[in-house]
Structure 1
Amino acid sequence: MASHITIPERRNCLASVVAHALLLLCVHPAWGQETLDIIDSIASKGDVERARSILEGWWEADLQDANRHDRQYALWLRGLLTVDPELASLDFRRLTVSFPGGPYSDDALLRLGLISVANGDLLEASAYFRAILLDYPISPKRKVAEEWLNSNQSALEVLELARIPKIREQVQAIQKNTKSLSQASGGSSGRYAIQVGAFSNSQRARDLAKELAAKGFEVRVVGIKGTALSRVRIGRFKERQRASTVLQHLREIGQVATLVDDVFLEIERP
């Protein structure tokens, strides 16, 4: 008996079957890398909704067992596929802070810089672009970062001078707020913290900690069980909301930071 399905309908049916099959494949960790590659390919062809749907399935089924590279890859893809730039920024920040030197982190910094430019925050943008120059000496994104910083140098100098008194006041307020919120959360027993950097080079971590300490912050350099990175952190909080309050204040003064929930895994570093 002849089929009454037209060619376009057959193509749509086939596409739906393929997408459904991919979602089923996502439940097996061995397909993690292949699935993410397929998601990337689908997104590059403009089918963002389908790519996002498959990624959500992978996120629910495979994230827990994913290796370090695939976690970064998935964060990068989710940031790219997120419509809301503020939500995308959360994934890009997590990439840059939790996976320094990773294959997508310089790209994430560039995206964060461009989002800041679009929001009219040139100082925040400059912080992201300078991070590319400082931490990614062989990144192909350096050229864009250098060109932007050079073309906006005069405007940045004016903005920097204007914000110095404000930063001093904000730093004092943030430090006071961090102490009170941390104490209210139970001090050293807190689960959450603010991470402002993670480095394979421990000297870079100490340098950042010293720089922040000079501004009045109480910082610590720690390791995490199972990893070799040195992480620079501020505060300990039992409640996520209290940590989020301090995080927002830090971002308002241009400090790149993210919220972490693994304080219990910290190991003291000299």
Structure 2
Amino acid sequence: MVQRIMVVGSGQMGSGIAQVAAQAGLQVYLQDLEQMLVNRGLGVIVRNLTRDVARGRRTEEEKAAILGRITGTTDLAPAAECDLVIEAIVENLEAKQKLFRELDEICPDATLFASNTSSLPITQLAAATRRPDRFIGMHFMNPVPVMQLVEVIRGIATSDETFATIKGLAEAMGKTPVEVRDFPGFVSNRVLLPMLNEAIFCVYEGIAGVEEVDTVMKLGMNHPMGPLALADFIGLDTCLSILNVLYEGFRDPKYRPCPLLVQMVQAGYYGRKSGRGFYVYDAEGNATPVKRF
């Protein structure tokens, strides 16, 4: 039974995972490399819960209890006390493998490992450890406190017991777990990223502008957010990373990243988190579409 977890990585995904785990009654360590990053992640959780209180979704007492179950840290050592470690760091294979090798030395044999990777092979990550049977993918959607889905990805060696434990944990967090096989991009990003990439090609080829492409998809396909605004929200660097995983994994040209996306990432235009992507964002988060590239 999972009662105590560590979430490694306190960014948008990691802080969200820590929040929903604490809401489910788990004791949570939220870890990152620097105290500033940990504090920022904890601050996001406080703001989310404060908004819930203001809207009548929970009480001040419930908010305090949830926050009381989360401990920020820059140390990996508390992972030794945990039943599960969920990794939510940068989408880079080598960085994740290095982290799991470290955790493998720290944690007792019974500790389960999960990766929140959005596209990288679970089997390959698990091979960096001595516990591939107790390793699994747990791909949450962004924003984690709001989105219902968790893709639960079994590596080639993942045991039935590990899968059942993680499926039950996702349900306890109020999520809907869906079992997915270990293929590049899984289901969500194998379907989503080619659509986002094609929207970027429409701008790159001059078929329509940013606002026009997003309007077509919102009004014509009833999408709540246009694909270019969504790419900015995900992070253009993350989109490019996932597309490269798909392209390299399948060797199929349909996954080739649009040259405009590559160039924007090279320029440091990552979307919302950098203040500029297909839209320019002011301090209040208001978005203005970019007219020229």
Tell me the TM-score normalized by structure 1: 0.28
> Which has the greater radius of gyration?
1
More helix by share: 1
Normalising by structure 2, report the TM-score: 0.26
